[in-house]
């Protein structure tokens, strides 16, 4: 009897399907949740890859920039001699560039080619999670703000666009800050002092205390808010203007690189003094200085070195390094996202 009943039920079901009944599908909320989780994973992977590629490319310039930022008089005398005779300081960037390239060359001769990438392993340990979190958070904040302001699926207005970038940068910086501290220490110390990343953590914790791992955290956050906000804002704005003026929905890789370079130039110039303050506070334990607060650090830098030569030391190098880093980062992220989406579509088609 039970088997006959089951057979009748199956026949009735088949008859209903033959008459056009549609089988139940997963709910819209389940489908949306799957898409969002897939999108978040893609953003994490694309961001991590973009950060690694961009930072490895400019690692020698990055290390040189940090040495410039944390030095108080190592290069100042030479730069003053080179810039003497120019009342407006117009030759100052050229002098800094020459000193920077000489420093790179000396490092290469004295310590070898790979020494130019010293501290890059610590950079990767920080940059990969930082970039992954920042890009993923930016995509999530864009969706949240888009829903809130009624622009879901479309380009955000200027203020929410700026907010999304600032929130993304702040989120990433808060989570990965100790790794940035370690990277700065490895960049300005001889390799005999710290053998690896773990050794830096152990020595700082033992000799200076765990609180030292967050020294310079406040200027970092204050610098990240305008830096990340302006960076994402400028890049997204340039892409939007490109679509409006050309009618082409997807910029070319070269155009993406140029948009990112403009974003890097603007954002790094705006937040650079706080970046110098952050580096000074991070490396105070190994440079013989005691920087207790942001205002105290700024006051000491300005008193000893002046505003331009102190707070903007190494900025000209950042005008070379920054646009390359940010441009490559944005371009790599976008292209990786496009590639992953295409691979997913091929996978679904094959099924």
Q: How do residues 8-20 score in pLDDT, each as one tens digit? A: 544 554 444 444 4
Contact 95, 79 (CB under 8 A): yes
Tokens standing for 105?
Answer: 């060359």
Name every residue whose Cβ is closer than 8 Å to that of residue 252 and which is 6 or more positions away in sequence. none
Interatomic CA distance for residues 87 and 270, integer angstroms: 24
Query: Closest Cα to residue 208, out of 273, 139, 281?
Result: 281
Q: How many CA atoms lie within 13 A of 130 on its CB side?
A: 23
pLDDT of residue 30: 56
pTM of the model: 0.71
How confident is the model at residue 80, as a pLDDT?
Answer: 43
**Radius of gyration of the chain, Cα coordinates, nearest whole angstrom:** 26
Lowest mean pLDDT among 108-122, 166-180, 200-214, 288-302: 108-122
Burial level of 317, CB count in 10 A (0-12/13-18/19+)?
A: buried
Residue among 225, 252, 245 at smallest CA distance from 167: 225
**305 or 25, greater pLDDT:** 305
Per the structure, the count of domains in the chain is 1
261 domain-assigned: yes
pLDDT at 315: 80
Mean pLDDT across 85-104: 57
Give domain status of residue 14, yes or no.
Answer: no
Task: State residue 114's pLDDT score.
Answer: 75
Whether 243 is covered by a domain: the verdict is yes
Pick the range with the lowest mean pLDDT from 239-243, 325-329, 342-346.
342-346
**If you average pLDDT over every residue of the chain, what do you get?**
78
233 part of a folded domain: yes
- Confirm whether 327 is domain-assigned: no
User: Residue 117 falls within a domain, yes or no?
Assistant: no
Question: What percentage of the chain's residues is helix, strand, coil (to nearest 5)?
Answer: 80, 0, 20
For residue 177, what pLDDT is reported?
86
Lowest mean pLDDT among 45-49, 154-158, 173-177: 154-158
Residue 161 domain-assigned? no
In a domain, 181, yes or no: no
> Residue 286: which domain range?
215-312
Which of 61-75, 134-148, 224-238, 274-288 is least confident?
61-75
Do 45 and 332 touch, CB atoms closer than 8 A? no
């Amino acid at each position: 009897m039970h088997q006959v009943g089951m057979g009748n039920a199956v026949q009735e079901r088949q008859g209903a399907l033959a008459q056009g009944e549609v089988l139940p599908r997963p709910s819209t909320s389940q489908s949306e949740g799957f898409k969002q989780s897939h999108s978040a994973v893609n953003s994490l992977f694309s961001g991590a890859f973009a950060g690694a590629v961009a930072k490895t490319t400019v690692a020698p310039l990055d290390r040189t920039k940090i040495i410039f930022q944390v030095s108080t008089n190592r290069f100042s005398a030479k730069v003053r001699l080179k810039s003497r005779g120019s009342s407006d300081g117009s030759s100052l960037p050229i002098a800094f560039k020459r000193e920077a390239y000489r420093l790179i060359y000396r490092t290469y001769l004295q310590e070898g080619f790979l020494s130019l990438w010293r501290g890059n392993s610590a950079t990767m340990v920080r940059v990969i999670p930082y970039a992954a979190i920042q890009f993923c958070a930016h995509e999530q904040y864009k969706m949240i703000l888009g829903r809130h302001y009624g622009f879901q699926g479309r380009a955000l207005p200027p203020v929410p666009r700026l907010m999304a970038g600032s929130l993304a940068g702040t989120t990433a910086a808060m989570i990965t800050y100790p790794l940035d501290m370690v990277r700065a220490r490895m960049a300005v110390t001889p390799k005999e002092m710290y053998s690896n990343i773990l050794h830096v953590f152990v020595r700082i914790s033992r000799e200076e205390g765990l609180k030292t791992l967050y020294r310079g955290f406040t200027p970092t956050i204050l610098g990240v808010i305008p830096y990340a906000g302006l960076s994402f804002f400028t890049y997204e704005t340039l892409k939007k203007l490109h679509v409006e003026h050309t009618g082409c929905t997807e910029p070319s890789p070269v155009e993406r690189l140029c948009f990112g370079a403009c974003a890097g130039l603007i954002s790094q110039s705006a937040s650079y003094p706080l970046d110098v303050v952050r580096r000074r506070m991070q490396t105070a334990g190994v440079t013989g200085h005691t920087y207790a607060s942001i205002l105290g650090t700024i006051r000491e830098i300005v008193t000893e070195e002046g505003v331009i030569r102190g707070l903007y030391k190494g900025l000209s190098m950042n005008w070379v390094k920054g646009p390359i880093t940010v441009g490559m980062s944005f371009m790599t992220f976008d292209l990786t996202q496009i590639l992953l989406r295409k691979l997913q579509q091929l996978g679904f088609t094959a099924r």
